[in-house]
Amino acid sequence: MRTYHFDHVHLRSHDPDAMATWFETMFGAEVARGIYPPGTLYPGQMRVTMKVGGQRILVAPKHPQDPMQEAPQFPYYGTEHFGFTVDDVDAACAELRAKGAEVPIGPLNRDASLRLAFVRGPEGIMIELVQSK
């Protein structure tokens, strides 16, 4: 059987630059901003590559031909959220709230060994913060 390795999460945004700035502010993301060159699907539009928690997150602009839909209301089927581990969920939530983030769920204990919270990001994306006890 083949070996599979995680490559990236792909987000789409009305404003890729604003989304990148949010991830820089909230999570200390390393961000590279560029412009899609002629001959690509999004020529002349901004493209963003971020590294957060050791993983790559790509942010693309609106699709050039297809109409875009708003994100569904949480929770929903499909890719619902992605998560970051932290050493202290309560402290992380306090820091993120102080930076202006919305934390609509938690912090709470899922069970005796797991504490979690959800942060709402741009375009309605949800990011789980997970602390193992």
For the segment 102-127, what is each residue's pLDDT rounded down to a tens digit? 999 999 999 999 999 999 999 989 99
State the pLDDT at residue 79: 82
Contact 85, 131 (CB under 8 A): yes
pLDDT classification of 50: cutoffs 50, 70, 90: very high
Cis peptide before 16 (omega within 30 of 0): no
Q: What percent of the chain has pLDDT over 90?
A: 68
Q: Is 82-132 a domain of CATH 3.20.20.70?
A: no
Cα distances (angstroms) measured from residue 55 to each of 8, 22, 51, 61: 7, 16, 5, 20
The residue extents of the domains of the chain are 8-60, 82-132
Give domain 8-60's CATH number out of 3.40.50, 3.40.630, 1.10.1060, 3.30.720.
3.30.720
In this structure, the strands spanning 46-52 and 55-60 are antiparallel
- The model carries a pTM of 0.89
